Structure 1
Amino acid sequence: ESGMEVHFKDLTGIPLKETFLNSIDTKGNRLLNFMRNVCATRNKRVLQAVTKLQVLRGQTNGCSEDVKDLILLLLSYFDEKEELLHYVEETSLAKDV
């Protein structure tokens, strides 16, 4: 477990990763459809993100396309930078990450 997971569990008594994955399984598709169809019509940043993700779909590996799309759309909705989620310098080695 990462430090954030342990800290969150200490504060709330809720296992963060398990709860997040369970929520994605049960509510992810509904939230993704809402972001793509409703939020995209009301928010220019989300519309731009939806368009970008449609173009990039299928070009990533290692995780579910829907989970990746959902997280990036939520970042757009809340006007957060993608780099805040995970940033690795191009010159980093795998062992440094």
Structure 2
Amino acid sequence: MTERETVLLGEFKEKIDKLIRRCETLKSENYRLLEEQVQLQDQIRLLSSRNEELAERNEQLKFAKSLLASDGQSHDARIKINRIVREIDKCIAMLNK
């Protein structure tokens, strides 16, 4: 083998070693990114679940608030009914005398 071929072979080996190191670096980075992807997907699932829970809770609170608004009206209605019942009781008591 000539000196030139030896030099070319040495350069070729260096380039192959460099490519192998680069490949290993990329493999480890790829592995790290895959792990990060899994973590982020888990986080997305958790946040989606939490979002659904909060949306459901929001609907429940809206419903409860609407009941409270009508509950105030029903409270007034109960007071009127109780007053009417007392008046009827008084009338019955007068009729019984």
TM-score range (shorter-chain normalised) is under 0.3
Structure number with bigger Rg: 2
More helix by share: 2
Give TM-score scaled by structure 1 length: 0.20
